[in-house]
Amino acid sequence: MNVFSHPEFDNHEHLSFFCDPETGLKAIVAIHNTSRGPALGGCRMFPYTTDEQALRDVLRLSKGMTYKSALANLDLGGGKSVIIGDPRKEKSEALLEAMGKHLEGLGGQYIAAEDSGTSVPDLKVMGRHTQHVAGIAERIGFDGQPSNGDPSPATAYGTFIGLKAAVRHKLGRDDLSGLKVAIQGIGNVGFRLARHLKEAGAQLWVYDIFAENMQRAVDELGAKPASAEDILYLPVDVVAPCAMGAVLNDDSIPQLKAKVVAGAANNLLERADHDQALKDRGILYAPDFAINAGGIIDVFYERTGATPETVRAHVDAIGDTLTEIFTRSDRSGRPTGAIANELAEERFRKHEARGNANPERLARVG
């Protein structure tokens, strides 16, 4: 397995592989950049078919977290972890405790949060052996409701705000009544996004690998079920990928009928040049690390202490950030993803030039 020559390796600061034969744990932790602060990112559990697939995912996701936190103006760096295994069959308390011990061994360089395949209770189990987990504190959430630390509500709300900004920019409408939206992935974030859209009057089509998730959206939100083969290519206004990444590629982009792509999944582009491919087709792409930053914003404020109003205002600003990206793209003729990358790099490169985050900030955030 090549690492330093891997196409997704981007001068990552740290990469560790952890195996615990007793519990079956096989995990990878990647820290991309800590110039703005300690690396914070989700711990994902997924049945990767190969070790290479897991490595590629963790390298891409950790870099994406650096850009996401910088673009959201948070004093955090970028990191991610992946556990190789089926979360519905292979997850156990012993496995999660072993993961917690590994995280503790990293000394706070990386802070884990909930992600696909893990939950707040899972992070609490890891927390038996490490203080370096986040998104587990019970408090009043950004929406004024009791929260157990789950960042999914904030991620979904921020994606909804960003989707509205994209629709306003591309379609020239603020009213979402009758807007046709196809959502790929209807789990914790996707379902909440669907609910926001339903309440705004949108028409929904949904797909998920788990039939019960789709059925819930059909029963509770009046969504129409779609197949895995069709969900991205329906004649809708907006496609919202909220599952795995790399779904925008050479095969899918030519078949898209929607005018807007705005979803919560990470790393939607299979390659960087697919950003331009979307623009060439006249499709407005809301860069994923800009639109789905609500969760990391929520987790950041959990650790620093802030009022729900402060958190909500910061998440609401996702719409302003995307509008700036769209406007710059129009003026320059360059694709939105490239513009978002530049904005994020401006923010974390400045910190790199001054050296790594100071100890006071590390102590406050980590």
Residues with catalytic roles: 80
Amino acid identity, position 124: K
Judging by DSSP bridges, how do beta strands 110-113 and 39-46 pair with one another? parallel
Which region holds residue 172: left if phi is over 0, alpha if psi is between -120 and 50, else beta? Answer: left
Q: With contact defined as beta carbons under 8 Å apart, do 125 and 96 qualify? A: yes
Q: With contact defined as beta carbons under 8 Å apart, do 282 and 254 qualify? A: no
Read out DSSP for 150-182? Answer: --HHHHHHHHHHHHHHHHHHHH--S--TT-EEE
Task: Provide the edge-to-edge strand list for the sheet that holds 25-33.
Answer: 14-20, 25-33, 77-84, 39-46, 110-113
Q: With contact defined as beta carbons under 8 Å apart, do 344 and 73 qualify? A: no
Give the whole-angstrom CA distance, residue 72 versus residue 326.
16
Burial degree of 166 (CB within 10 A; 0-12, 13-18, 19+) = buried
Residues 6+ apart with CB under 8 A from 314: 72, 297, 301
Per the structure block, which two tokens stand in for 149?
A: 């630390």
Amino acid identity, position 191: F
**DSSP H helices in 222-293:** 274-280, 288-291
Q: With contact defined as beta carbons under 8 Å apart, do 264 and 193 qualify? A: yes
Amino acid identity, position 295: G
